[in-house]
Amino acid sequence: MLLQSAWGKVMIQVQNVSKTMGNQNVLKDITFTVGKGTITGIIGRNGAGKTTLLKTMVTIVDPDNGTVSINDRDVFADSKAKESILFVADSVEALKNYSTTAIASLYADIYPHFDHDYFQALMHRFEMPSTKKIKQYSKGRKALFSLILAFATRPDFVLLDEPTDGLDVVVKKEIMRFMVDEVAKGDISIVIATHRLDELEALADQILVINQGEITETFQLDHLQERFKKWQVVYREHMPDFLLNHLHILQQSGRVYTCLGEGDLDDLESQLKETEPLLYEELPLSLEDLFVAKLGSERIAE
Ligand SMILES: Nc1ncnc2c1ncn2[C@@H]1O[C@H](COP(=O)(O)OP(=O)(O)OP(=O)(O)O)[C@@H](O)[C@H]1O
C-alpha cells in the first residue's frame, strides 16, 4: 500500500527499513516519504544513524528489512530506479589532485544528464575560479564545488550529509540559499542530514528527528500552526499547577512564562484565559521551540 505524503504524489518512499551492524540496531523500522520539490531535514546526534539511512536510500547499505522506492520502483530490485538520486558525501576530497575541468568531465562520463552549461553557469555565479588541483580550494569552496557538481548532474533527488559542517557563516548562508533556489525551481527534492537544527529551520518542509536509529518525531512545517501555539503569559504570582501539566514550558523567568500548547488549542487557550493572567500574548512559533519542548534536555548537539 502506498503511503500518502503531505505533498500528494509520493516520490521517495522509505518503508519499514531496519539495519543491524555488528550487534547494533543502527536503523529501526524507519518509514517516511519525500515529496517532489521539497526539502527534508534528518536531524539527530552523532551516531544516530543519519549517514546509514542516506546510504541505504542509494543502495550503498543493504537493509535487513524494508524497502526504498522511487516513484514506486524498488531501488534494490530495479537499478534504473536510483539513477535520479544523488548522494553527496565528501566526495571531492578523493579528487583533490584533479582540476575542476577534469572533474567536470569525469562527472559527465558517469552521469548521463550532466549539464556542462549549467556547471559553468554555477561556477560563474559563485565566482569559483577554475583550478588545476581542487586541493587549492578552501574548505568552503570545496563544499560549494561538491554541490555545484551535484546539481549539474540534474538529479531529481539530492541527499546531502552534513553539507555545511565546519564552514563559516557566510559560506553556510550561500550554500543554503543555493539549495533553496534549486528547490524553488520546482522539480528537485533535497534530503539533508545534519546534527544542527539551525541549518534546517529556515529551509525544511519536513523534519525527521532520528534518535538511536529510530524516527522519534516528524514535523511537517505546513501543519505546525494547526498542532501548536506559543504564548507568553505573565501571572501575578505563578502559573496554576493544572496548566503546567498541559503546557510545555519553554522558558520561565520569575512570573513570566513562555509556553507551548499542543493538541486542542482552542480549549487550551480558553483555559489560559480563565486563569486571568496579567498579560497574555501569542508569539510566533519556531522549530527551535518544538525541539526544546519535545526533546528537552536531550537537545540536538550544537
Ligand atoms: N559498518 C559499520 N559497522 C558497524 N557499526 C557501524 C557501521 N557503520 C556505522 N555503524 C554504527 O552505526 C551507528 C550510526 O552511524 P551513522 O554514521 O549512520 O550515524 P550518523 O547519525 O550519521 O552520525 P554522525 O553524525 O556522527 O555522522 C553508529 O553507532 C556507528 O558506530
- Cell numbers at residue 14, please? 522509505
State pLDDT tens for residues 185-235. Answer: 878 999 999 887 776 766 888 999 999 999 998 888 777 778 889 999 999
47 lines ligand 1 (CB under 6 A): yes
> What's the pLDDT at 115?
95
> What's the pLDDT at 302?
41
Q: Which atom of ligand 1 is nearest to the CA of 53?
A: 18
Residues of the chain with CATH 3.40.50.300: 10-212
DSSP assignments along 142-193, one per residue:
HHHHHHHHHHHT--SEEEEESTTTT--HHHHHHHHHHHHHHHHTSS-EEEEE
49 lines ligand 1 (CB under 6 A): yes
Q: How far is the CA of 260 from the centre of ligand 1 (A)?
A: 34
**Least confidently predicted of 29-33, 89-93, 163-167, 200-204:** 89-93
State pLDDT tens for residues 237-284. Answer: 999 998 988 898 988 999 999 999 988 999 999 999 999 999 999 998
195 lines ligand 1 (CB under 6 A): yes
Higher pLDDT, 288 or 33: 33
For a pocket test of ligand 1, which of 18, 19, 21, 56 has the largest count of ligand atoms closer than 8 A to its C-beta?
A: 21
> What's the pLDDT at 279?
93
> What's the pLDDT at 7?
43
Q: Name the average pLDDT for the chain.
A: 86
Q: Which CATH class is domain 10-212?
A: alpha beta
Domain 224-298 has CATH 3.30.70.250: yes
- What are the phi and psi torsion angles at 89 (to 5°)? -100, -150
Contact 27, 52 (CB under 8 A): yes
28 lines ligand 1 (CB under 6 A): no
For a pocket test of ligand 1, which of 24, 57, 88 has the largest count of ligand atoms closer than 8 A to its C-beta?
A: 24
State pLDDT tens for residues 158-181. Answer: 999 988 877 888 888 888 888 888
For a pocket test of ligand 1, which of 18, 25, 26 has the largest count of ligand atoms closer than 8 A to its C-beta?
A: 26
ipTM for the complex shown:
0.94
> What's the pLDDT at 299?
44
User: Of the candidates 18, 38, 81, which has an alpha carbon nearest to the alpha carbon of residue 179?
Assistant: 38
State pLDDT tens for residues 110-157. Answer: 888 899 999 999 999 888 998 889 889 888 888 889 989 999 999 999
**Least confidently predicted of 11-25, 49-63, 82-96, 105-119:** 82-96
Q: How far is the CA of 58 from the centre of ligand 1 (A)?
A: 16
d(CA 193, CA 173): 17
Interacting residues of 55 by C-beta distance below 8 A, sequence separation 6+: 61, 87
Q: How far is the CA of 119 from the centre of ligand 1 (A)?
A: 33
Residues of the chain with CATH 3.30.70.250: 224-298
> What's the pLDDT at 197?
75
172 lines ligand 1 (CB under 6 A): no
Average pLDDT rounded to a whole number, residues 69-87: 90
26 lines ligand 1 (CB under 6 A): yes
> What's the pLDDT at 259?
93
Q: How far is the CA of 168 from the centre of ligand 1 (A)?
A: 26
